[in-house]
Amino acid sequence: MPVLLDEVIEKLQIKENGIYVDLTLGRAGHSKEILKKLTTGKLICLDKDIEAINQSNEILKKINSNYVLIKSDFRFLSDVLKKINIEKVDGIIADLGVSSPQLDNVNRGFSYSQNSDLDMRMDIDQSLTAKYILNNYSFETLNKLLIDNADVKFSQRIAKEIIKNRPFNESFELVDLLKNILPAKLLKQKNPAKQVFQALRIAVNDELNAINDLLKQIPNLLNKNGKFLAISFHSKEDYLIKKFYQNLTYRNPKLDKLPIQEERSWSQKIIFPSEKEKQLNKRSHSAKLRIITKL
C-alpha cells in the first residue's frame, strides 16, 4: 500500500468529472483509488518504468476505462498533456522516490542490503547506470553528487577511495568499501550505505532536476481550487517543494507598510504519517505530504 493513501484521497477532493494526474504511477496504489471515484472524469498516469505501466494497466482496467497510461518522465508533464489536448487539471499527485516494487526487485540494483548489479535506473531504457558513474566520474563530480544529493559525510574520502578501488560491478563491493574506510563511530550510528546509494540513485535518474522542471509547470496547469500533492521522503526533495511554495506566496516586505489587503492565491497544508501507519509500514517513517492549493 502506498504511503499516506487515505490522506491523499481525502485532500485531493476528487470530483467525479474532474481531470487528475498521477505523476508516479508505480503499481497504481494512488491511481486505483482515484479512478474508483471518477465517472466522466479522466485520470492521466505517468511513469518512466515500463514494468509499472504494464502491471498497472492490468489493475486499472478492472475498475473502468477513464484513464490514460503514458511512459514519460514527469518533467515533461506540460508536453504530455498538450499531446492529449488537456490544458488544465484539477489535481496532481507525485509520490517521490523509488517505488516499493523497484526496491524489492534485487535485479534493479536499488538495495544496499542485497547484492545486485549496480544499476539503479528507474527507466530501464536509459543508458546511464550507477555502475557507470562509479567507474567513470571524476573525483570532483563524485564528491559533488554525494554532497548535493544526500549530504554524505566524509564525501571526499569516499570519492577518493571509489576512484582508487575501481572497477565496481555489484552493490556489496561498494558497501564493503564503505565499511572499510569510514570511522567505526559513524558505522555504529547508521549504515552510511543508505545515503551513498541515495546520492547515486538521484544522480542516475536526475531526480532533483526533474522535480525542479516539474514545479515550474504546476501553476499554469492547475484549475482554480486545483491541488498539487507531493509526498517526499528526504530533505532534498522536500526543500525543493517548500521553496516552490515560498516563491508562489512571496510578498514584498514594502507592501506590509501599506494599508492594502492582498488576497491569497495559494494555500498549503503539511501532513505526516500517523503512528499507526509508521508501525505498519516502515517506509512511511520519513514521509511528508505537502498539499498546495491554487485558490
Say which residue the cell 470530483 belongs to.
15
- Measured CA to CA, the distance from residue 53 to residue 132 in angstroms comes to 26
Q: Is 139 assigned a ligand-binding role in the annotation? A: no
- CA 99 from chain centre, in angstroms, equals 9
Q: Is 95 assigned a ligand-binding role in the annotation? A: yes
Helix 193-205 with 139-150: angle, nearest 10 deg: 100
Rg over alpha carbons for the chain, rounded to the nearest Å, is 21
Which residues neighbour 225 within 8 Å (Cβ) at sequence distance 6 or greater?
90, 293, 294, 295
- Measured CA to CA, the distance from residue 209 to residue 218 in angstroms comes to 15
Phi, psi values for residue 267, rounded to 5°: -135, 160
Say which residue the cell 514519460 belongs to.
72
Which residues neighbour 104 within 8 Å (Cβ) at sequence distance 6 or greater?
none
Is residue 4 within 8 A of residue 277, CB to CB? The reply is yes
Q: Is 30 assigned a ligand-binding role in the annotation? A: yes
Strands (E), the chain: 19-22, 42-47, 67-71, 89-95, 222-232, 266-271, 288-294
- Measured CA to CA, the distance from residue 86 to residue 278 in angstroms comes to 37
Q: Is 28 assigned a ligand-binding role in the annotation? A: yes
Q: Is 206 assigned a ligand-binding role in the annotation? A: no
Q: Is 238 assigned a ligand-binding role in the annotation? A: no
Q: Is 79 assigned a ligand-binding role in the annotation? A: no
- Measured CA to CA, the distance from residue 24 to residue 45 in angstroms comes to 7
Q: Residues forming the annotated binding site?
A: 28-30, 47, 74, 95, 102
Binding site as annotated, residues for S-adenosyl-L-methionine: 28-30, 47, 74, 95, 102
